[in-house]
Structure 1
Amino acid sequence: MTDERVAEYESTADEPDKPGAFQRWYDHVTDDWSREKPWYELPKALGLAQLIGIRDTLRQQNLYDTSRLPAVNPTTAPPFEERFLTERTPDGSWNDLEHPEMGMANTRFGRNVPLENTMRDDERMLIPNPRVVSLKLMTRDKLDAATAGNAIIASWLQFMIHDWFRHGTSPTDRPWVMPPVEGDTWPTPPVQVMRVPDDPTSPPDATGPRTFINTNTHWWDGSSIYGNDRAAQMFLREGSGGRLRLVNGLPPVPDDPDKDPTRTPGFWLGLGMMQALFTHEHNAVADHLAAAHPEFDDETLFQKARLVTCAVIAKIHTVEWTPAVTAHPTAAEALHVNWYGLAGEKLHDFVATFSKNEALRGIPGTRTEDYGVPYALTEEFVAVYRMHPLVPDDYDFRAAKDDAPTLGAKQFTELTGPHAVPILQNVSLGDLLYTFGTMNPGLVTLHNFPRGLQQYTRPDGKIMDMAALDITRCRELGVPRYCEFRRLLHLTVPKTFDEVTSNKEWAAELAEVYDGKLEDLDLIPGVMAEDLPEGFAFSDTAFRIFVLMASRRLNSDRFFTEAFTDDVYTPEGMQWVRDASMGTVLTRHCPELAPYVDGLPNAFGIWKRASSPS
């Protein structure tokens, strides 16, 4: 493209910076250092220095492109329009102005490991039996709680996942059929896992690494409240004032049951709560901008409010949600550096007036950078976000005003699919959030998989074992198994099961299930068995993907970098983002939550309960 305004935005994004001699030396030293003494065992300053080197190494060595593999009828972007310079498109196209299809819906997942290491091993797809892994290693007897956090953490995770990735609807033919397990009480044997849809852009005669399509946009663009195409977006919009539609306080649902998102596997009360909360947040932003800019029409108000709301979501995830599940002082500092830089929150605005240095001022507002590899979410990223143990099985619904029972005790299975809709309609959002805020999520460890997901009845009546599915899916998608995964992420590799975990009972169980073959150990049980760093709800191995992809989701997105400006967002919108936190969002729309949220350093921490009625 030759458009002059496009050239203005792309002028600094032609070639990635090559690491200099000092950076190469620094990265090499920290890479070796991290194998001898991990970052979480060091003083904060040294640990932070090590994490910076780890991230540099991962950026240079763990981004792999699948978009240039052979393709037929690949997804293409719509024709360019001038408005794409200052607004997000419904399908994610034109975020990158030179490669407009980058990151759009129905394009391929990338990888964090070499493509030759992602080949599916069909002969060992069901070895060991994923159902055995589920029963013997995953089954939860009692919740092993992450005591510092609250269960909104689990709701938020599902909200983000519905924004970021989806492999599409699985075909019902040729399922993976689990061999029978002696004594299994599965109600409708055999246990089956439906396959991932084939990549329609992969040539029929293609050999080599398989590729897979993300039917969501890859960007942090609020797909879970805005949809992934124009038709879905227009259905959700009110048509005036830039607002989204609300029906009895909730996003609208199509009349066609086949398009009803509450009947899609994965919908539950926690997701519905977040969708409702941030639909209200979008509308509050739109109203604020309308008051400041009476000259804006509905379309302008909607697009500006969407930009602001997406930035609020990204900020909350970066500086609140992720530090809540990685509550180690060094990790929390590193994540704040992603947004505020080493200058910190108090000095950020001042430093940002004269510096574009990412380390000093944080990523937002700096140059767009993809480190020489077109941006895409990756299958390894999907794998480490399979954090179902965060979800509790047992809920006790109570009122924010006085802790009095509302719905009382409920099981997770009573909160999924269409079961969640009447609860969302009949119980106030504040009371639902209070219930989640005053209970703990689970740790992402062995023997902590939700019972309600180990035997989960979908809205269509099919029964699934999500633990067995997670194991099967990683194998099917070519995600390396545990030892190889660590090897490829520059981590030390255990030589025995006792080196995977200090829990002797777990080590013995792993050895039994995997018949003593350590290299066969799947990624998910491997990371769930690991000893956790202080304050962490999940493993350091999984955190390596976070270190890489958390910053990449910001670095590569023009609307968080070069277009993160007053001109694009409006001064009022930028101020809204600066002032926003999960606490301000919660109390803005549910003021009854202020006594529990105000004063908390992080709204994802556990809340105090109200005084119970006598």
Structure 2
Amino acid sequence: MGGLLLGSTNIGSNRPDGSEMGLHSSSDSWSRTNALIFPMATFIFGFCLVDGTIVMTVTATVIKHLMLFRSNRRKKHPSRKRRFLRGERLEGRQLLAGDLGGYRHNIYDAEDVNDDGRVSAMDALLIINAMTREVSHDEGMFTDVNGDGRRSALDALRVINRIERGDVIPVDPDVEDERSWLIPEMPSEIRSIDGTGNNLQHDAWGSVGQTLLRSAPADYDDGIRMPAGADRPSAREVSNVLSGLNTSESLNDRGLSAFVYVWGQFIDHDLGLSESEEHGEAFDISVPKGDPWFDPMGTGEAVIPLIRTPVVEGTGTSVDNPAEQFNQITSYIDGSMVYGSDPVTAATLRTNVGGRMAISDDGLLPMDESGMVIAGDVRASENVGLTAIQTLFVREHNRLADEISVADPEASDEEVYQRARLVVIGLVQSITYNEFLPALLGEHALDAYEAYDASVNPGIANEFSTAAFRLGHSTLRDEVGFMSNDGRESKDEMELKDAFFHASMLEETGIDSLLKFDASVQAQEIDLAVVGSLRNFLFGPPGAGGLDLVAMNIQRGRDHGLSDYNATRQAYGLDQVETFDQITSDVELQQKLASLYGTVDNIDLWVGLMAEDHQHAASVGELTGLIIADQFQRTRDGDRFFYKNVLTDSEVESIERSTLADLIERNTSVDGLQENVFFMQVELRGRVILASSIPPNTMPSELREEEIRGVSGMAIELIDASGKLVDSTVSDQHGNYRFRALSETGDYQVRLSESGEAMDVLVAHGAERIRDLDFIVLA
């Protein structure tokens, strides 16, 4: 094969928004008027819509309804258009190597079943044909459009609905401007700050100070309050064996972004807090002799300090009355991390003017004398990513308050504050249930919302707060970065260990570049591997404040008397496992679990949950998914003030149209985010084409598929901005190739190995699908 003749691509230039040559993901071209039918939890109901468009108007009689948060995101990209993609002959297609890897076709464009760049009747026909064949799920992944683990008429209907809507939705910016977002009137009943009064029959349910619930019985060693696990290895030893792994290659196999842990921590701080007392009972973690980080001198006397969680007064007196822990904040998703869980805190955060909350002139949270931010939750300064999103929601509250005050100047400070608070809480709930949970658990993990159920206790389960929802610790990257709107680094990244309790750095960096970074990089996989900053340097170096978060998770489970993994499976209605390979298919991990625990009946709950093989179309295992789904379903159904229960249909639609990406862009200078910031999924693709099959003065994109001769077996490399080889592949029998192993945005180079000829590519956001990166070679 001869050398490279030329590189043909539609890149044209490195404009950050890619608009000149239309390189953005097809998903970016969908009208924002169709956003409501896209969230996973509600998509199935979109079949009854004629065109998927929801239009709201403001009547003359409702003068207090405001244009609340209309989307400006399309107007920021006025030249962005949907590309008409070239068709591909079905009979000539061959699966690319990437289809067999971690990424699956339908995470990019589910309805494009045959991956030809358009949605047509052929896609529906493929599903119908597949339904008549007995094929395994893995083999038929392309036809499982709605991600429910099976082929059915619903998959075909979803494709047909997309065809009926049309694959190209033109948008008139002037028409979009007229679509209003509605803000609710002053509610007749206001949600309390401390959670009391939500349930009219059980006034204290979900309020501050309630006992943590248990699905599995307490399993203290003495049956009363002595910590569990006395016959298990040290929690630090377990951490060293199972979590001290090389995590550089363990990125999330479904392309979840860093926002999965940023939002996870943010919402966790809305649901639960069980802080230890400063001078409480010690339950130190013994460190194995010679531990390279905590006992380098080999004394055998090192420990990692831990204080036991306080228990509910009057518990822990007998086997019939074991020790129980309690939640120190409300268990509702009620924005308590923004507004506080007690009246004193809530009052401290307000300016008492115009309904606004306290914020600095440069849009940052105020700080106390120790350099910690003043927020609704005491943990808001734990890391700069968390502080950034805390700041974002205070900005959103104040933006809303200003809108309300201008439109309704007679409204009191209290009225403005409560109306803005109502919307902010609704936004937090909507993003959690319509974006975050479907991304983490899959589309159908929770039952559809029907109505408020006064019989449901929304209290936090011990298994949830002390084990299952600590999965986010596995997903953190070991660095914190800063990115500009073009997807490139705006300043050098910093190690995660240096970002703990360092909120003051936001005075230099602001929050914009941090939020852009979180949307532009992939998270680590949800598994037992945890980065060194959390295992060895949590809040400081070993011996000077440094802790091991993995060991602390395990030790805290023992402190709370959590039942072991197998007993908890039974409590949640699952069959108990009998062998380690029923937990994980990873043979090495099976062996490590066996060496530590000896039996499947004595595994610490957090360890078992993190070891589980993941469920289909989800990033968690079977029991993990059940625990999290149970908690969020009870939190939702047992909340009388849940946004779908208190707002009108139009107000609900207004809330649900506002994605986290929208909220970020209207409160920062960040621009060009992908529609769903919980996923970072990028694809680069092209062909290696024989020059003799291209007529003079003709571009490959101008020809039909059958007119082009592709070259198979050509090696292509993907190089990042530092010159590191990210991935490599070979062209298939038609000359096609593609890359999906991009873990972050920025500058890349696609290089033909044989000749060294290359094309520069700028990936500006986390949903780029750049095609036509074609190499033309001589015979």
TM-score, length-scaled by structure 2: 0.59
Instruction: Provide the residue aligned with 1:238 in structure 2.
Output: 351
Post-superposition offset of 1:607: 6.5
Q: In structure 2, do the counterparts of structure 1 residues 543 and 404 end up closer, same or farther at CA, with 3 Å as the change threshold?
A: closer
Instruction: Provide the residue aligned with 1:596 in structure 2.
Output: 673
Q: In structure 2, do the counterparts of structure 1 residues 187 and 203 end up closer, same or farther at CA, with 3 Å as the change threshold?
A: closer
Tell whether 2:211 aligns with 1:108.
Answer: yes
d(CA) in 1 for partners of 2:508 and 2:643?
A: 41
Residues 201-248 of structure 1: CA distance to partner in whole angstroms, max 9, x if unpaired?
Answer: 325846522111211111111111111111211121121221211113
- Partner secondary structure for residue 663 of structure 2: helix
d(CA) in 1 for partners of 2:462 and 2:236?
A: 22
Instruction: Provide the residue aligned with 1:282 in structure 2.
Output: 397
Instruction: Provide the residue aligned with 1:169 in structure 2.
Output: 276
d(CA) in 1 for partners of 2:408 and 2:316?
A: 53
d(CA) in 2 for partners of 1:511 and 1:556?
A: 40
Instruction: Provide the residue aligned with 1:270 in structure 2.
Output: 385
Instruction: Provide the residue aligned with 2:589 in structure 1.
Output: 506
1:367 maps to a residue whose letter is Y
d(CA) in 2 for partners of 1:113 and 1:84?
A: 39
Post-superposition offset of 1:282: 1.4
Deviating more after overlay: 239-248 vs 250-259? 250-259
More strand by share: 2
Q: In structure 2, do the counterparts of structure 1 residues 396 and 198 end up closer, same or farther at CA, with 3 Å as the change threshold?
A: closer
Residues 380-434 of structure 1: CA distance to partner in whole angstroms, max 9, x if unpaired?
Answer: 111200120111112343322461431x1311011111x2321x22113221111
Q: Map of 1:392-407 to 2, 5 A cutoff?
A: 392-401=477-486, 403-406=488-491
Post-superposition offset of 1:125: 3.5
- Give yes or no for contact 1:289–1:573 (8 Å, CA) kept in 2: no
Instruction: Provide the residue aligned with 2:310 in structure 1.
Output: 198
d(CA) in 1 for partners of 2:395 and 2:380?
A: 24
d(CA) in 1 for partners of 2:308 and 2:657?
A: 41
Q: Map of 1:232-381 to 2, 5 A cutoff?
A: 232-247=345-360, 248-255=362-369, 264=379, 267-326=382-441, 331-335=442-446, 338=448, 362-363=449-450, 366-371=451-456, 374-381=457-464
Q: In structure 2, do the counterparts of structure 1 residues 46 and 107 end up closer, same or farther at CA, with 3 Å as the change threshold?
A: farther
Q: In structure 2, do the counterparts of structure 1 residues 114 and 183 end up closer, same or farther at CA, with 3 Å as the change threshold?
A: closer
Tell whether 2:451 aligns with 1:451.
Answer: no
Tell whether 2:251 aligns with 1:145.
Answer: yes
Residues 488-530 of structure 1: CA distance to partner in whole angstroms, max 9, x if unpaired?
Answer: 112122212222211111101111111x222111122212222
d(CA) in 2 for partners of 1:524 and 1:198?
A: 20
Instruction: Provide the residue aligned with 2:196 in structure 1.
Output: 93
d(CA) in 2 for partners of 1:444 and 1:224?
A: 25
Instruction: Provide the residue aligned with 1:158 in structure 2.
Output: 265
- Give yes or no for contact 2:372–2:381 (8 Å, CA) kept in 1: no
d(CA) in 1 for partners of 2:385 and 2:371?
A: 21
Q: In structure 2, do the counterparts of structure 1 residues 295 and 573 end up closer, same or farther at CA, with 3 Å as the change threshold?
A: farther
1:249 maps to a residue whose letter is G
Q: In structure 2, do the counterparts of structure 1 residues 320 and 375 end up closer, same or farther at CA, with 3 Å as the change threshold?
A: closer
Post-superposition offset of 1:333: 4.1
Instruction: Provide the residue aligned with 1:477 in structure 2.
Output: 560
Instruction: Provide the residue aligned with 1:464 in structure 2.
Output: 547
Q: In structure 2, do the counterparts of structure 1 residues 191 and 100 end up closer, same or farther at CA, with 3 Å as the change threshold?
A: same
- Give yes or no for contact 1:370–1:555 (8 Å, CA) kept in 2: no
d(CA) in 1 for partners of 2:317 and 2:538?
A: 37
Q: Which runs of no fewer than 5 residues in structure 1 stay unpaired? A: 1-36, 49-82, 339-361
d(CA) in 1 for partners of 2:509 and 2:372?
A: 26
Post-superposition offset of 1:185: 2.2
Post-superposition offset of 1:573: 5.6
Residues 102-143 of structure 1: CA distance to partner in whole angstroms, max 9, x if unpaired?
Answer: 211122111223468986564734622111100000113223
- Give yes or no for contact 2:359–2:365 (8 Å, CA) kept in 1: yes
Q: In structure 2, do the counterparts of structure 1 residues 179 and 603 end up closer, same or farther at CA, with 3 Å as the change threshold?
A: closer
Residues 22-65 of structure 1: CA distance to partner in whole angstroms, max 9, x if unpaired?
Answer: xxxxxxxxxxxxxxx9x9884166999xxxxxxxxxxxxxxxxx
Post-superposition offset of 1:263: 8.3
- Give yes or no for contact 1:392–1:442 (8 Å, CA) kept in 2: yes
d(CA) in 2 for partners of 1:126 and 1:111?
A: 23
Instruction: Provide the residue aligned with 2:229 in structure 1.
Output: 124
2:241 maps to a residue whose letter is K
Residues 556-589 of structure 1: CA distance to partner in whole angstroms, max 9, x if unpaired?
Answer: 11111785134xxxx9865541332112112211
Q: Equivalent of 1:548, from 617, 620, 630?
A: 630
- Partner secondary structure for residue 261 of structure 2: helix
- Of all paired residues, the percent bearing the same amino acid is 23
Residues 305-333 of structure 1: CA distance to partner in whole angstroms, max 9, x if unpaired?
Answer: 1121111111101110112223xxxx314
- Give yes or no for contact 1:236–1:251 (8 Å, CA) kept in 2: no
Instruction: Provide the residue aligned with 2:500 in structure 1.
Output: 416
Post-superposition offset of 1:457: 4.3
- Give yes or no for contact 1:125–1:472 (8 Å, CA) kept in 2: no
More helix by share: 1
1:202 maps to a residue whose letter is G
- Partner secondary structure for residue 494 of structure 2: strand
Instruction: Provide the residue aligned with 1:533 in structure 2.
Output: 615
1:124 maps to a residue whose letter is G
Q: In structure 2, do the counterparts of structure 1 residues 197 and 527 end up closer, same or farther at CA, with 3 Å as the change threshold?
A: closer
- Give yes or no for contact 2:439–2:679 (8 Å, CA) kept in 1: yes
d(CA) in 1 for partners of 2:564 and 2:224?
A: 12
Count of aligned positions: 499
1:227 maps to a residue whose letter is G
2:532 maps to a residue whose letter is R
Instruction: Provide the residue aligned with 2:23 in structure 1.
Output: none
Tell whether 2:292 aligns with 1:185.
Answer: yes
- Give yes or no for contact 2:373–2:503 (8 Å, CA) kept in 1: no
Q: Equivalent of 2:600, from 518, 541, 562?
A: 518
Q: In structure 2, do the counterparts of structure 1 residues 107 and 46 end up closer, same or farther at CA, with 3 Å as the change threshold?
A: farther
Instruction: Provide the residue aligned with 1:10 in structure 2.
Output: none
Q: In structure 2, do the counterparts of structure 1 residues 242 and 413 end up closer, same or farther at CA, with 3 Å as the change threshold?
A: same
- Partner secondary structure for residue 124 of structure 1: coil
- Partner secondary structure for residue 518 of structure 1: coil
d(CA) in 1 for partners of 2:646 and 2:151?
A: 30
